[in-house]
Amino acid sequence: MSGFPEFIYYDDELFVESVPLKQIAEKFGTPCYVYSRSALTKAYQEFDTAFVNRDHLICFAVKANSNIAILNLFAQLGSGFDIVSGGELQRVLKAGGDPGKTVFSGVGKSIYEMRMALEENILCFNVESEAELIALNKIAKDMDKLAPVSLRINPDVDAKTHPYISTGLKENKFGIPAREAERIYKSAHLYPNIRFIGLDCHIGSQLTELEPFTQTSKKMLHLLDSLQAQNLEIEHLDLGGGLGIRYNEEILPSISDYVSALCINTHQIKQRLLIEPGRSLVGNAGILLTRIEYLKHTPARNFAIVDAAMNDLMRPALYDAYHEILPVHKNSGEIKDYQIVGPVCETGDFLGHDRRIGLINGDLLAIMSAGAYGMSMSSNYNSRPRAAEIMVDKDTIHIIRQRETIDQLFSNEKILS
Ligand SMILES: Cc1ncc(COP(=O)(O)O)c(C=O)c1O
Ligand SMILES: N[C@@H](CCCC[NH3+])C(=O)O
């Protein structure tokens, strides 16, 4: 067993659904990201069915994985989207997503991005400051439009996650304190081109406990109550994303436990519930497939130098994040402690430390749980073309992004004449 239902060993060979990963490596080369359509679909459906009869909208956080084939799959399943840039909006449109099911988060929306989103009639802007609200009101006025808005509340709740991905503490740059938000909602008449339709929050990512979500929803309900007491009509409550996935030994609430908890915590209100999950929809549905270039043994360490690197998957280098690493063919070489590293010229370029595994040159490895914040955070550092992306559907292999070519790397650059 691999512990990942769609990535399974048969006779010591790791498969994705019905396809041996070895076949993908031979046909498309490495490194490449490989996703399971079934795992993506099941994760979405687990969210969706857990709401039972509750009016809801799941807005997939595009930043977690922005490949248009994946966005298209979620759109077909009925998903909405949470975007943070004009580029993400264009991806949603290209993928056939519905702008009317799209919310726009982020602290620094540009005038150009706001205009684009107003033109496309998105569902809602999650506004993160008064300055942004003033700018949006002005743009909407110039366009003779009403901008639908939720204020993003900073509830000052500790998400108990990595400090770089914690967003709901008062010292973080995100959202507006509840008191200030209440004052803004009450002065809605100052913003004639804004229609306040919702309340929003998002406290952080890779949360492993339900308690911070519960604490946050209590605070949001409190604010909602006081807005309603003043006859302010709020149509939806957006509770953000943040549910974690299992990377290592973490014990996590299931998707359905999480949704049930949100529904229970908010059972007394009639508003539609929105959520913005990213990682929990795609994280464990994807892997990074890589091949060992060289094994190198020094007096201090054993290194497995692979063809994927920190530019392909930056989570280990950036957050010291753990990703399980599985051999695509089990039982190959002598078992040793290996440092799994890439070819980039940085000591921080590692994919895993101290992994006890048997390896020989040329072996394939699967870096697990790489479906979220993997390809979407990749770069061309060291002038490395970005990896290909593959989606497997039962026994069919689809290439959903071609490997970048060297020519594409500098196609926008120019030598001065
Ligand atoms: C505003 C917003 N919504 C949703 C998400 C998705 O979070 P996650 O991938 O942890 O579900 C993020 C990222 O943390 C975010 O910044
Ligand atoms: N990039 C982070 C998650 C960031 C969430 C953004 N709001 C990660 O890889 O875990």
**Among 289, 290, 331, 287, CA closest to 13:** 331
Atom of ligand 2 lying closest to residue 314 CA? 9
- Using the mean position of ligand 1's atoms as its centre, give its distance from the Cα of residue 243 in Å: 9
Vertex 288 angle, CA 282 and 289, to 5°: 140
- The token pair that represents 42 in the structure block: 């099941």
DSSP class of residue 204 equals B
The pocket around ligand 2, CB under 6 angstroms, is made up of: 63, 165, 205-206, 315, 373, 377
Among candidates 406, 376, 412, 384, which has minimal Cα distance to 68? Answer: 376
Distance CA(408)–CA(410), nearest Å, equals 6
Is 242's C-beta closer than 6 angstroms to any atom of ligand 1?
yes
CB atoms under 10 Å from CB of 258, counted, come to 23
- Tell me, what amino acid is at 120? E
Considering only CA atoms, give the Rg of the chain: 23
State in Å: Cα 292 to ligand 2 middle.
Answer: 27
**Mutation pick for ligand 1 pocket among 279, 284, 369 (CB with most ligand atoms within 8 Å):** 279
* Alpha-carbon distances of 87 from 47, 83, 94, 113, 369, rounded to whole Å: 26, 9, 10, 9, 25
Catalytic residue set: 345
Between the CA of 373 and the centroid of ligand 2 the distance, in Å, is: 6
Answer for the pair 391, 20: CB distance below 8 angstroms, yes or no.
no
Helices and strands (DSSP H and E) totals, the chain: 12, 21
Strands 32-36 and 19-20, by their bridges, are: unpaired
Dist. CA 277 → ligand 1 center (Å): 6
ipTM of the complex: 0.99
Burial of 104 (0-12, 13-18, 19+ CB in 10 A): buried
Asked if 325 and 340 count as a contact pair (C-beta separation under 8 A), the reply is: yes
Reported as a single tens digit per residue, the pLDDT across 50-87 is 999 999 999 999 999 999 999 999 999 999 999 999 99
CATH architecture of 7-36+283-409: Beta Barrel (2.40)
**The ligand 2 atom nearest the CA atom of 372:** 9
At residue 204, does pLDDT exceed 90? yes
- The encoded tokens of residue 32 equal 């490449």
What distance in Å separates the CA atoms of residue 200 and residue 149, rounded to the nearest whole number?
9
Mean pLDDT across the chain: 96
pLDDT of residue 163: 85
Q: How does DSSP assign 71-119, residue by residue?
A: HHHHHHHT-EEEE-SHHHHHHHHHTT--GGGEEE--TT--HHHHHHHHH
100, 75 Cβ separation under 8 angstroms: no
Q: Which ligand is nearest to the CA of 164?
A: 2
Residues 6+ apart with CB under 8 A from 245: 206, 252, 279, 280, 283, 284, 369, 372
Residues placed in the known binding site for pyridoxal 5'-phosphate: 242, 276-279, 373
> Taking residues 123-152, what's their average pLDDT?
98
pLDDT level of residue 368 (50, 70, 90 thresholds): very high
Architecture of domain 105-277: Alpha-Beta Barrel (3.20)
- State the pLDDT at residue 2: 64
Res. 1 pLDDT band, cuts 50 70 90 = low
- What is the reported pTM? 0.97
Over residues 87-94, mean pLDDT? 98
* DSSP label at residue 375: G
Closest CA to ligand 1's atom 5 = 241
Please give the structure tokens belonging to residue 326: 């599985």
How many angstroms separate the Cα of 89 from the Cα of each of 23, 198, 328, 369? Answer: 35, 20, 37, 26
Task: Give strand pairing partners of 297.
Answer: 302
In this model, does residue 220 exceed pLDDT 60?
Answer: yes
Q: E strands of 39-79, at which residues?
A: 56-61
Predicted local distance difference test score (pLDDT) of residue 168 = 82
- What six digits make up the tokens of 414? 């120019």
Separation of alpha carbons 220 and 181, rounded Å = 11
Most ligand 2 atoms within 8 A of CB, residue of 154, 162, 165 to mutate: 165
pLDDT above 70: residue 398: yes
Domains of the chain by residue range: 7-36+283-409, 105-277
Residue to substitute in 44, 126, 205, 373 for testing ligand 1 pocket (most ligand atoms within 8 angstroms of CB): 205
**DSSP 3-state helix, strand, coil percentages of the chain (rounded to 5)?**
35, 25, 40
Q: Are strands 325-327 and 272-275 parallel, antiparallel or unpaired?
A: unpaired
Give the closest residue (by CA) to ligand 2 atom 8.
373
Return d(Cα 310, Cα 343) in angstroms, integer: 9
Q: Evaluate if residue 162 carries a pLDDT over 90.
A: no
Measured CA to CA, the distance from residue 310 to residue 286 in angstroms comes to 17
- Please state, in angstroms and as integers, the Cα–Cα distance from residue 25 to each residue in 14, 42, 249, 387, 395, following that order: 12, 25, 28, 12, 15
